[in-house]
Amino acid sequence: MMEQDPFKKFDASDFVNLALSPIPSTFGRLVLMAESLDHTTDELAELLYGKEQIAAALEQKHRDIFFAWFSGGRS
């Protein structure tokens, strides 16, 4: 029987989305993202997906949230 890695079907952006899911407000997510960009990311995330992929996912999500907030939309 082949072992399956449950994390293979998820990528770094899924990890970022999961981390943000408990935060109900767009502004709260934006604040968390700004703080995350300035600090070391989660060690487990880096181990599973790699530091570069996590950094890229954080930067993209930060942009997405900022533009949604700035344009009056929701993310």
- Give domain status of residue 30, yes or no: yes
- Give domain status of residue 49, yes or no: yes
Q: By percentage, how much of the chain surpasses pLDDT 70?
A: 79
- Give domain status of residue 3, yes or no: no
Task: Give residue-wise pLDDT tens across range 14-47.
Answer: 988 988 999 998 888 888 877 776 665 678 878 8
- Give domain status of residue 59, yes or no: yes
What global pTM score does this model have?
0.71
- Give domain status of residue 7, yes or no: no
- Give domain status of residue 66, yes or no: yes
Question: What does the pLDDT average to over 46-70?
Answer: 87
- Give the structural domain span for 64: 12-17+25-70
Confidence tier at 75 by pLDDT (50, 70, 90) = very low
Q: How far is CA 44 from CA 12, 22, 36, 54, 72, in A?
A: 11, 19, 15, 11, 34
